[in-house]
Amino acid sequence: MAGDIVPQTRGWRAAIATAEEAEPPILRMSGEIELGNTNERPSLSLSEPASPDPSVLVLNLDVIIDGPSELAMHWVGVEFQYLVPEAPPASVRLLWMGVEIAFLSVTA
């Protein structure tokens, strides 16, 4: 992805999935981003600094460029998993270069 153009995204979901018996629950954030080159891959990461509101988890959507490229518009899925603390977030705010592209309520 070149420049600071906000990419097209779709299908964002934020849900808490109960893990196996001995493990804590996991929040899964997933969606798709439209990319223009075959060497681009999306990545979700925790935003730094974190949200001052503990009920809102803030994630950054980035695109990593790696290897040879061909121009080809295509949709690519991306997922992020987060171990849920004692007080799980109620919502997820998704940013692209500091611009909000999605704000979702977390479902159980």
Per-residue confidence in pLDDT tens, the chain, 108 aa: 444 689 999 999 999 987 564 477 889 999 999 999 999 999 999 999 889 999 999 999 999 999 888 999 999 999 999 998 788 899 999 999 999 999 999 987
| Separation of alpha carbons 31 and 75, rounded Å | 10
| Residue-number span of the structural domain to which 18 is assigned | 9-105
Q: What confidence score (pLDDT) does residue 84 get? A: 86
Q: What confidence score (pLDDT) does residue 32 get? A: 98
Model's pTM, two decimal places? Answer: 0.87
Q: What confidence score (pLDDT) does residue 4 get? A: 61
Residue at 15 is within a domain: yes
Residue at 3 is within a domain: no
Identify the CA nearest to 29 among candidates 69, 71, 78, 76.
78
Q: What confidence score (pLDDT) does residue 20 get? A: 60
Number of structural domains (the chain) is 1
Q: Which residues lie closer than 8 Å to 77 by C-beta, 6 or more apart? A: 30, 31, 32
Residue at 1 is within a domain: no
Residue at 28 is within a domain: yes
